[in-house]
Structure 1
């Protein structure tokens, strides 16, 4: 809820700034300046996203994943420009509680789902998934990971609570779907709490399994933990069961503007699936991870 309040304040502040500028410019008889100012506030994030894509291209180097074409990068940038305000200015700040966790009577014997969000996100990023799961009558729990800028180790407890709720309601091990940093939180939980029979399958989407180059600029504790080669990542790997990756499907992309180079989202021994031409947040809305979830629920 803290993140939702922070993003509410940020969104309302941006709306206020755009409105104040438009009113000021119109009173001065400068309608063009009013439009330009509003567009700058509304689309300012597109320039930041563009810089991320440029960095992703520059540091690709000899990464084994094929380099994206400029058309793929442009398409991914356009998709992320549209996805970011929808997620960060609407779903997460104002709609994160629209879909409650769904543990219906009669869930016993059905396979359930745990949804884990990523960095600077909350359960609202899964709204479309929660709506579809509810419509299908499938039990699920979507976690909120807090503190927002704390250690990833702190997220073991809410994940454990979510898994226990699914276990209690269904009597079966869940499928866990995690986006971005959520995949590392899942692995940290699995290394400590996840006995072999407690997780049916794990699906990660754009998770920095080997860290991400962009995390070198992070100031928060969880951000620093996602640096390539960080001591925290090495500790997680050392604690993991050797066969764990064989029960994971990892979606990665050659146009991921947050987790790059692309192979950092892959995990040795896992079923690694390439989402070509899709950016980081927009990956959640792709049909492939959803279809994989349905397939694993039917196992």
Structure 2
């Protein structure tokens, strides 16, 4: 009778967690704090707070707060300039945790500065896995309506993107993963996110600003960075 009641309570907890979009106890119990801390890089006209939901889910699944770092930056400046900040944040996270490598999870334009970092600035062995959620890796027509340096770099055919994508689109000893949605609404064309040499995933119908908060995408990203 007691074991039956225990199973019933666990089933109820799992169902409740699913309804509110949180990790279920069964899933959380199977994960332990990973060896790699995670750096989160937000997109254009955004801030570190856009990662609050995803970070809370990682914590619920066993990641210590010290291993989850998000930061804000000036989204008008060149992505090459932001890449310098990404480099500094990686080093800070490594120093704070004593880890040897980090994983980088990005949304939208955050994928460009971090890719520039991986291609041109990343120290050997500092990064293990990289994630792009709705990244304008080959440009987006949405950037035609704004005129900051970063927006010019996000336009289809920009010099910045041509240089970034020249040769190997996924250089170095890093594992690359991208996620895109047909309902994105901001990255046009949607297939702009796809990178040759990456694990490219098409999601269900999820709007651009919801990619970081979708529970299914979270689970996929979690499993990608913690295989």
Give TM-score, length-normalised by structure 2: 0.76
Cross-structure match for 2:83: 156
Whether the 8 Å contact between 1:246 and 1:270 is mirrored in structure 2 is no
Question: Are 2:77 and 1:175 equivalent residues in the alignment?
Answer: no
Whether the 8 Å contact between 1:143 and 1:158 is mirrored in structure 2 is no
Cross-structure match for 2:134: 206
When residues 195 and 240 of structure 1 are mapped into structure 2, their CA distance, relative to the original with a 3 A threshold, is farther
**SS class of match (2:201):** strand
Whether the 8 Å contact between 1:191 and 1:239 is mirrored in structure 2 is no
Q: CA deviation at 1:263?
A: 0.8
Q: Which has the larger radius of gyration?
A: 1
Cross-structure match for 2:114: 186
Cross-structure match for 1:219: 147
Distance 2:129 2:57 in 1: 19
Cross-structure match for 1:84: none
Whether the 8 Å contact between 2:136 and 2:193 is mirrored in structure 1 is yes
Matches within 5 A, 1:1-299: 110-135=35-60, 136-138=62-64, 139-146=67-74, 148-168=75-95, 169-238=97-166, 243-244=171-172, 247-299=175-227
**SS class of match (1:238):** coil
More helix by share: 1
1:101-128 Cα deviation digits (max 9, x unpaired): xxxxxx9x83200000000000010011
Distance 1:191 1:291 in 2: 27
Q: CA deviation at 1:195?
A: 3.7
More strand by share: 2
1:228-266 Cα deviation digits (max 9, x unpaired): 110111122237675449711100111111101111111
Whether the 8 Å contact between 1:213 and 1:259 is mirrored in structure 2 is yes
Whether the 8 Å contact between 2:142 and 2:186 is mirrored in structure 1 is yes
Number of residue-to-residue matches in the alignment: 191
Distance 2:156 2:69 in 1: 30
When residues 243 and 236 of structure 1 are mapped into structure 2, their CA distance, relative to the original with a 3 A threshold, is closer
Distance 1:241 1:278 in 2: 25
When residues 160 and 219 of structure 1 are mapped into structure 2, their CA distance, relative to the original with a 3 A threshold, is same
**SS class of match (1:156):** helix
**SS class of match (1:197):** coil
Whether the 8 Å contact between 2:48 and 2:71 is mirrored in structure 1 is yes
Distance 2:181 2:170 in 1: 25
1:134-153 Cα deviation digits (max 9, x unpaired): 4434312112122x311111
- Structure 1 unaligned spans of 5+: 1-106
Give TM-score, length-normalised by structure 1: 0.59
When residues 254 and 245 of structure 1 are mapped into structure 2, their CA distance, relative to the original with a 3 A threshold, is farther
